[in-house]
Amino acid sequence: MNILVTGGRGLLGEAIFNNAVEEKLYSNYKFIFVDSSHADLTNMEETKKLFNSMKPDYVIHLAADVGGLYKNMTNKVNMLERNLLINYNVVKCCHDFKVKKLVSCLSTCIFPDNIKYPINETQLHNGPPHYSNNAYAYAKRMLEIHSKAYNEQYNDKFICVIPTNIYGKYDNFSIQNGHVIPALIHKCYKAKQMNKPFIVCGSGKPLRQFIYSIDTAKLIMWTLLEYDKLDPIILSVPEKDEVSIEYVATLIAKEFNYENQLKFDWEYPDGQYKKTVDNSKINNYLPDFNFTTIENGIKQTIKWFITNYEEARL
């Protein structure tokens, strides 16, 4: 049985490789990890060739054009168009090539802005997303609609997982375009090198739930092989583990022994204040799942970043 993983060299792809292949947990399956060097998934002909050559039985669709708050705000056309093309081509090829099951990755940032918290899976389309990432959000929402349409018309097993903010080894640590944790890790690293203040854009007050990449990989594999429903499912730490950006920045500064240089620049926008999600659905299925703490996850991520700085995505 072949499992094709798009976006296979990114944060989650590497986590699945680490969990599934290096740990030899799924010996009955052959994993095929692909990235943009194998095919341009915005191009239908290249996507078809990829599926024809790999002949996947299952697909984990992680490939996307992603970034942090400022990339979402300043590159809306690319974020919309590239993600629409990637998702359309992959979903259609999964149907045309008779893939047994497709698991696609969404994000909790695509939920409506004005909504009652905590957010659950049924609220995905109950209003517009936050303006700061609406282009990316609508592209991802269409992926869920596209999957559901194939479920209803053709009985295809196409489902979507909705992870909260993922971080970990092999992330994109770009200060300009990375997500908050990897960008802050790189920023603190550089600030200490140059003996300058570690400046965090914004007030630090917004709240987020963060999930370690290895935990997400385990839950995605469970979804692929065990979850027998077609409804989307949120992958998140519990609401009680929600933390502020200030807390995260402080943890990072402590790991670098640079707390005395931590400062917040209130002139920058904060983005959405909170996106609190309800993880009761996954908790009902896996009540004993042991999530990595934010403290340990950040410690492990920084250790990897320092050791692999020359090869990391910056």
User: Is there a domain that residue 298 lies in?
Assistant: no
* Domain of residue 30, CATH code: 3.40.50.720
> Which domain, by its residues, includes 285?
2-167+209-239+276-292
Q: Residue 289: its pLDDT value, please?
A: 97
Q: Residue 304: its pLDDT value, please?
A: 97
User: Is there a domain that residue 181 lies in?
Assistant: no
Q: What does each of the 314 residues of the chain score in pLDDT, given as a tens digit? A: 999 999 998 999 999 998 877 666 788 899 999 999 999 999 999 999 999 999 999 999 999 987 766 677 777 898 899 999 999 999 999 999 999 999 999 988 899 988 889 999 999 999 999 888 889 999 999 999 999 999 999 999 999 999 999 999 999 999 987 889 999 999 999 999 999 999 999 999 999 999 999 999 999 999 999 999 999 999 999 999 999 999 999 999 999 999 999 999 998 877 778 889 999 999 999 999 999 999 999 999 999 999 999 988 88
User: Is there a domain that residue 266 lies in?
Assistant: no
Q: Residue 23: its pLDDT value, please?
A: 67
User: Is there a domain that residue 301 lies in?
Assistant: no
User: Is there a domain that residue 143 lies in?
Assistant: yes
Supply the residues annotated as catalytic.
Answer: 136
Amino acid at 165: N
Cβ atoms of residues 127 and 114 within 8 Å: yes
Which of left, alpha, beta for 147 (phi over 0: left; psi -120 to 50: alpha)?
alpha
Cβ atoms of residues 166 and 208 within 8 Å: no
- For the chain, the domain total comes to 1
User: Is there a domain that residue 271 lies in?
Assistant: no
Q: Residue 22: its pLDDT value, please?
A: 67
Nearest in space to 177 (alpha carbons), one of 78, 34, 61, 86: 78
User: Is there a domain that residue 53 lies in?
Assistant: yes
Q: Residue 70: its pLDDT value, please?
A: 67
